[in-house]
């Protein structure tokens, strides 16, 4: 009798297991659908956030600081602004490619009455600064009726002042930092450290000076003298550019070219600047109060690519021994 009862219960237990398995599959399927739907919602939200961010950045770029970006003037005579911001180096905002493109657009616009170089830069490459300086002189000669004024915001030092010296007039704030007319090259020496930790430097070169100023080898007097001579040449180019740009407004004092930096107030007394002023005060003074920003802007991906490229280039060319710089 007991055996018969067990035989009757076995099919019931099997059906229960099958039903439970079906329920489990349905539950898991529902969970998978919920997970898939949640992922779609999250993906859509991320896409929307990215889209909204891009639109906001574009809108901000088109209306930055109340200026009309990209030279979209309204037919009235205006003050054209070209900004020299940050490090003056290829691929950076203050690089010659961007600044010169802005200057050319500003000079060529038929409604430009005056150009303001709005400078906020600690310096950078002497080559890039010289490119901008020479182009300003060329464009001034080509468009003699359009004056160029430099306005120093926080700082126009070294390469930043190199650029400013090409302007007809330089305007500063009392607390602006101006000058640093000099050239520097940075390097390190690890010879004593290597001796302490027992590291031997092995270097093969073709050309006796190919390992010029190697930081892992003792300093050589002839190589140091060569580099110093090169820095002196670059410094002389800088001094000539400042003297050419400022003329007899400069006070005769050798300390001006010693690499010291000055406040805007002292810069006026030394002839390194002409007056206190801002972009708006210059625009009012020259009766061209409409301000149009001609500083070119690049896309985000282009800026990232340029930044990576320029950083890699400086790393390869400079390695541990830095290249000469106006900073």
- Residue positions annotated with a catalytic role: 158, 210
Torsion sign, CA atoms 309, 312, 318, 322: positive
Phi and psi (nearest 5°) for 268? -65, -45
| First vs last C-alpha separation in the chain | 103
- Under 8 Å between Cβ of 261 and 172: no
Q: Each residue of 131-165: b (16+ CB within 10 Å) or e?
A: bbbebbeebbeeeeebbbbbbbbebbbbbbbbbbb
- Under 8 Å between Cβ of 179 and 265: no
CA dist 69 and 213 (Å) reads 46
- CA-to-CA separations, 203 to 195, 211, 317, in angstroms, rounded: 16, 8, 18
Torsion sign, CA atoms 18, 21, 23, 26: negative
- CA-to-CA separations, 29 to 18, 25, 33, in angstroms, rounded: 16, 6, 6
Strands, E assignment, the chain: 68-69, 78-85, 112-121, 148-157, 169-172, 177-179, 261-263, 275-276, 290-293
CA dist 165 and 84 (Å) reads 13
DSSP state for residue 71 in the 8-state scheme: S
Facing residues of 156 across strands? 121, 178
- Under 8 Å between Cβ of 111 and 146: no
């Amino acid at each position: 009798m007991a055996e018969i009862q067990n035989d009757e219960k076995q099919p019931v237990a099997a059906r229960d297991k099958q039903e439970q398995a079906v329920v489990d599959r349905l539950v898991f399927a529902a969970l998978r659908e919920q997970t898939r739907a949640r992922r779609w919602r999250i993906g859509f939200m991320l896409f929307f956030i990215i889209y909204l961010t891009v639109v906001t950045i574009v809108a901000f770029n088109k209306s930055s600081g109340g200026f009309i970006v990209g030279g979209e003037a309204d037919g009235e005579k205006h003050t054209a602004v070209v900004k020299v911001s940050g490090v003056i180096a290829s691929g950076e905002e203050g690089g010659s490619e961007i600044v010169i493109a802005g200057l050319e657009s500003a000079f060529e616009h038929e409604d430009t009455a005056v150009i303001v170089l709005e400078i906020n830069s600690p310096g950078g490459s002497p080559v890039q600064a010289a490119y901008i300086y020479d182009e300003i002189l060329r464009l001034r000669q080509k468009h003699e009726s359009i004056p160029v004024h430099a306005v120093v915001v926080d700082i126009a030092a070294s390469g930043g002042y190199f650029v400013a010296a090409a302007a007809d007039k330089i305007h500063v704030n009392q607390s602006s930092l101006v000058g640093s007319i000099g050239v520097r090259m940075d390097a390190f020496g690890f010879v004593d450290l290597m001796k302490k930790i027992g590291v031997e430097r092995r270097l093969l070169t073709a050309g006796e000076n190919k390992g010029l100023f190697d930081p892992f080898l003792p300093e050589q007097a002839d190589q140091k003298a060569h580099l110093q001579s090169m820095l002196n040449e670059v410094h002389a180019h800088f001094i000539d550019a400042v003297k050419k740009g400022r003329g007899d407004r400069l006070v005769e004092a050798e300390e001006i070219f010693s690499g010291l930096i000055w406040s805007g107030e002292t810069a006026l007394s030394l002839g390194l600047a002409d007056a206190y002023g801002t972009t708006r005060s210059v625009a009012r003074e020259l009766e061209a109060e409409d301000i149009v920003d001609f500083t070119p802007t690049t896309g985000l991906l282009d800026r990232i690519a340029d930044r990576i490229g320029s950083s890699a280039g400086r790393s390869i060319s400079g390695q541990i021994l830095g290249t000469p710089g106006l900073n």
